[in-house]
A and B are shown apart, each in its own frame.
Chain A
Amino acid sequence: MKNIIISSILFFMLLTIKSCSLDNYEKPNAILFGSFIDQETGELIEQDIINGTKITVIEHGFETPQEQYLVVKNDGTYRNTMMFPNTYTIQPKRGNFVQIDPVDLVIKNETKLDFLVLPFLRIKNPQIYKSANKIKATFNIEQTSIDKVQKIGLYVDPEPSVGEYKRVFAKEIPIGMQVDSSELLTIEIDLNTVSELKSGKSYYFRIGALLNVPEAKSNYAKAVKIQI
């Protein structure tokens, strides 16, 4: 009886150990990286890190392929260092630019893929400065379509990754019409009335503007660090 118990324990241990051996798949050792670039100006397109543009990748060779998503950094670049070498269908979705078609791409080693896109809006001549305990932001908006601008905003956060969805404070102004590129827009935050921002600390301020089309994300200027 004792033997039976011991041998069955051994048998199960064997099974357990057997299942521990490494599988025969390659590690995900390919890298996909690149940028979102304004096709007219050649500049990087600023993004949201939370709820921002997502790059959909579908790996070929599966019967029921699932979409996977890559996120984009604030400055408009992206980099995923853990991809399996394979062929993929790649398409950025729900971004702050005009939708582009999917591309098929073989990813191996370090593969670079830049997206040349047309941003919904361009924030031009952004200026953010402090005067008399107020933060003032002035800028122009250049439209690339005839849609209406939904809102403009000045977003504040202690982190440089500040944006519409990552902020401790925001001042937003609804617009609801087209904006002429010559019109100087101003957003003001009166620091005397804002309890969320502590004086003496530094915060990142970022100008954003949202176009009124389905699932659009805001277009941004670069974040600016100011001590208040």
Chain B
Amino acid sequence: MKRIQLSIILLMIIFTGCENILDLRPKDKLDGIAMFSDPEGVKLYMANLYSQLPIEDFNYRRDGFNGWIGENMYLSMFTEEATHSEYSAFLDPNNLLWWEDGYSLIRDVNLLDNVIPTLNVSDQQRNSMIGEVAFIKAYAYYYLVKLYGGVPIIDELQEYTGDADDLKVPRSTEKDTWDYVLRQCDIAARNLPSVWAGGERRATKWVAYALKSRAALHAASIAKYGERAAMSGEAVTKLLVGIDKSYADYYYEETIKACRAIMDSSSFTLYKENPANANEAAENYRKLFEFPQNATDEVIFIKGYTLPGSGHDNETTFNPAQTANGWPHPGRMCPNLELIDQYESYTYPGSSAPIQTSTAPNDLTDYSGFNVNKAYHRYDNPYEIFKNKDARLWGTVILPGTQWKGVDIIIQAGLIKPDGTAQILTGDPFTYNGKTYYTYGAANNTGYSGFNLERGNYTRTGFGFKKFLDSATPVVYGYRQGLVDYIDFRFAEILLNYAEAVVESNYMKDDAQNQAYIALNRIRHRAAHTVNIPLTIQNVQRERLVELAFENKRFWDLIRRREFHTLFHSKKRHALQPILDLRVTPAKYIFVRSEIQNSWPATFYEQQYYRPIPGIGSNDLIQNPQY
């Protein structure tokens, strides 16, 4: 009975509450009017917009921003940069989607755009706000057009008046969408300050130019190289995807101008541009990513993480097994031999320097495994073979036998017994002359970091990963504990964008050829190179690959230059196995170029140059080719 009374009372309360629900002002939240009438409220709202920006940071995986599939499949694992320690990388049409999130951000920014004229703020504040709004629009549409080609441009706040059809906007052409992005970048650059007085990490004039250079270069490449992967269908005939070749030079020139605005401002330079030697250069390069906050001379735009629990998973996911500090899933990012090969050697500047394991003529293409008759080069330690390779290799990758966090990182694939029998990736401990040797280089599985397939915790390729990692703090157990900042734009990328645009369009004005040659070699000098190399398309692309490795650039380079489907056609990526050779005393190391265990060849289908447009059944948009 008491229960019934109680429920009646409850019901009464509920129904009473219904009376004026639409007129009530919530007491625990800011409503729209209060929010925008106070500059502090606007600032809060702006912070929310920034957090929605499609910045391809450390939490960007194949399932998108703040992806949480759990497999940790990063963009670099689709290129020649790396292989996942456990899974093969398959890009499917459901990956990298950003449609609803994108238009939700665009609506939010349009809301703010609408109230700016009514706000009671100084002209200076109003201008910077106009600039920020334009910057956020540019960033959102830049990412949308990169994924989908031409998209509906909704530049003004839409009002719902009862008919959903009124809200439908058709797709703009790909060219018009890129032009919109560049225009918004211009508005942003005109209105934003060069620096924020309080040092806040907000968009500046230079960030706007940097975004413009990245966007214009993407558009230019599609115009120039689109024909490498010509497609058909309604989206193509209506120009919703693809840009006519005749516009390539225009976009390259836009790239050049945006880069020059930053370069000529003298606001930025390269971090520690003149190293004394290669060792110092390697450490400088690594520190640039460990402490971006200390590299304000190079860094243009940073995304930071402040709260443990809302950071990223770099420390746990990337540390080698030996420094995992109890975390059960380390070592996911395994740099490929293909990437290691690309780094120049100081002895032969100007070309990639593939790892030679013997003098055999087919050494570089033979991946059939250890061959007892082959005369392998022998080394005293497992990293001597990389001597003279580019400093950035040493700053990006944990090489076998080198130190990380005070631990010798042991990466070994097996041993050759004195009688010449190979024991590779398998086998029991082997005792010889009173000493016991182990396949993976140590007695138990916490003592090494390579090749064991157990739980995907050991590198499959023979290389560990350290770019972006905290070199001092032990790994904290838990998700999203990483707090190292992410660099979104840095000066080195601007120099490389400039060099690429100049060489691709054969640009001659403003001493461009010479300036681009200087820009390209400035970056190499920072990596302790002393010999200049000529400005060629190949040199610029190799430099992009090694300088910007793992910064989510290579994937988009292959997309925009339409090289993906050619380079990744049943493509196998490879490992380098360090093997202890007991045929000689004292034992030495040999290296075998080999296939990656349990890995599959990767193929990129032309379809993937654009993502499928979702919801065409109801939004009446034209689908992209081949979906």
Q: Which residues of A contact B (CB under 8 A)?
A: 51, 64, 66, 94, 164-165, 167, 170, 193, 195, 213-215
From B139-147, B278-286, B362-370, B541-549, the one touching the partner chain is B362-370
Q: Is A66 in contact with B617, judged by CB distance below 8 angstroms? A: yes
In the complex, what residue of chain A is closest to B572 when comparing beta carbons? A196
| Contact of B362 with A94 in the complex, beta carbons under 8 Å | no
Q: Classify the interface of chain B: helix, strand, loop or mixed.
A: loop
**A214 neighbours in B (Cβ, 8 Å):** 230-232, 236
Whole-angstrom distance between the Cβ of B149 and the nearest chain A Cβ: 15
Q: Are B605 and A215 in contact, with the CB atoms below 8 A?
A: no
Q: Any chain A CB within 8 A of the CB of B618?
A: yes
A164 to B603, CA, bound (A): 11
| CB within 8 Å for A94 and B603 given contacts A66-B617, A170-B570, A195-B368 | no
B616 and chain A: residue at smallest CB distance: A64
Q: Closest chain A residue to B627 by CB distance?
A: A67
Residues of B close to A195: CB separation below 8 A: 365-368
- Say whether B606 contacts A215, CB under 8 Å: yes
Residues of A within 8 A of B569 (CB): 164-165
CB pairs A–B below 8 angstroms (23 shown) = A51-B603, A51-B605, A64-B618, A66-B617, A94-B626, A164-B569, A165-B569, A165-B570, A165-B603, A167-B570, A193-B362, A193-B365, A195-B365, A195-B367, A213-B230, A214-B231, A214-B232, A214-B236, A215-B230, A215-B231, A215-B232, A215-B606, A215-B625
Closest to B620 in A: A64
Q: Which residues of B contact A64 (CB under 8 A)?
A: 617-618
**Given A165-B570, A170-B570: A215 in contact with B626 (beta carbons within 8 A):** yes
B617 / chain A contacts, CB cutoff of 8 Å: 64, 66
- Cα separation A51 to B365 with both chains bound (whole Å): 27
**Shortest Cβ distance from B488 into chain A, in angstroms?**
35
Query: Which residues of A lie under 8 Å from residue B618 when comparing CB positions?
Result: 64
Closest-by-CB residue of A relative to B617 is A64
B535-572 interface code vs A (CB 8 A; 1 in, 0 out): 00000000000000000000000000000000001100
The 3 closest A-B pairs by CB, nearest first: A195-B368, A64-B617, A214-B230
User: Roughly how many angstroms separate A167 CA and B570 CA in the complex, as a whole number?
Assistant: 8
> In the complex, which residues of chain B have a beta carbon less than 8 angstroms from the beta carbon of A193?
362, 365
A51 / chain B contacts, CB cutoff of 8 Å = 603, 605
**Please, how many angstroms separate the alpha-carbon atoms of A51 and B607 in the complex?**
10
B 350-375 contacts with A by CB, 8 A? 362, 365-368
Q: Mark B599-618, 1 if CB is under 8 A from A, else 0.
A: 00001011000000000011
Q: Which residue of chain B has its CB nearest to the CB of A62?
A: B617
Closest chain B CB from A196 CB (angstroms) = 8
Give Cα distance in the complex from A164 to B606, angstroms.
14
How far does the Cβ of A150 sit from chain B's closest Cβ, in whole Å?
11
Residue numbers in B under 8 Å from A94 (CB-CB) = 232, 626
- For B212-241 the 0/1 string (1 means CB < 8 A from A) is 000000000000000000111000100000
Chain A residues with CB under 8 A of B236: 214
The residue in B366, B367, B570 that gathers the most chain A C-beta atoms within 10 A of its C-beta is B570
Measured between beta carbons, the chain B residues less than 8 angstroms from A170 are 570
Chain A residues near B231: list those with CB within 8 A. Answer: 214-215
Contact with A along B358-400 (1 / 0, CB 8 A): 0000100111100000000000000000000000000000000
A195 vs B592: C-alpha distance in the bound complex, in angstroms?
14
How far apart sit A195 and B365, CA to CA, in the bound complex (Å)? 8
Known pairs A214-B231, A215-B626 / 8 extra A-B pairs, C-beta < 8 Å:
A51-B603, A193-B365, A195-B365, A195-B367, A214-B230, A214-B232, A215-B230, A215-B232
User: Which chain B residues lie closer than 8 Å to A165 at the CB level?
Assistant: 569-570, 603
Chain A residues within an 8 Å CB radius of B368: 195
A186 to chain B, nearest CB (A): 22
A51 to B568: give the CA distance in the assembly, Å. Answer: 14
State how many angstroms separate the Cβ of B465 from the closest Cβ of chain A: 28
Residues on the A chain within 8 Å of B570, using CB: 165, 167, 170
Residues of B within 8 A of A215 (CB): 230-232, 606, 625-626
Q: Cα distance A100–B231 when bound, in Å?
A: 17
B374 nearest CB across to chain A (Å): 12
What is the bound-complex CA distance between A149 and B179, given in angstroms? 36
Taking the closest CB of chain A, its distance from the CB of B425, in whole angstroms, is 17
A86 to B618, CA, bound (A): 24
Taken together as a complex, chains A and B put the C-alpha atoms of A195 and B606 apart, in Å, by 29
In the assembled complex, how far is the CB of residue A163 from the closest CB belonging to chain B, in whole angstroms?
10
Nearest residue in B to A66 (C-beta to C-beta)?
A: B617
Complex Cα–Cα for A51 and B605 (A): 8
Interface residues of B in 576-609 (CB under 8 A from A): 603, 605-606
Q: Across the interface, name the chain B residue whose C-beta is closest to A63.
A: B617
Contacts of A164 in B (CB 8 A): 569
Tell me the smallest distance from the CB of A47 to a CB of chain B, in Å: 16
Which residues of chain A are within 8 angstroms of B230 by Cβ–Cβ distance? 213-215
Q: How far is the CB of B571 from chain A (nearest CB, A)?
A: 11
Cα distance A214–B625 when bound, in Å?
Answer: 11
CA distance A173 to B617 in the complex (A): 43
Specify the chain B residue showing the minimal Cβ separation from A172.
Answer: B569
Complex: A66 Cα to B368 Cα, angstroms: 47
Q: Which residue of B lies closest to A215 (CB)?
A: B232
Q: Which residues of A contact B626 (CB under 8 A)?
A: 94, 215
Bound-complex Cα distance A193 to B362 (A): 7
- Least CB distance from B287 to A in Å reads 41
Most chain B beta-carbon contacts within 10 A, residue among A51, A170, A215: A215
Tell me the nearest residue of chain B to A214, going by C-beta.
B230
Query: In the complex, what's the smallest C-beta–C-beta distance from A14 to chain B, in angstroms?
Result: 24
- The residue among A51, A193, A195, A213 with the most chain B CB atoms within 10 A of its own CB is A195
Roughly how many angstroms separate A8 CA and B362 CA in the complex, as a whole number?
75
* Residues of B with C-beta under 8 A to A167: 570
Whole-angstrom CA separation of A12 from B580 in the bound complex:
66
Least CB distance, B370 to chain A, in whole angstroms: 12
- Report the nearest A residue to B618, measured CB to CB: A64
Closest to A64 in B: B617
A94 to B626, CA, bound (A): 8
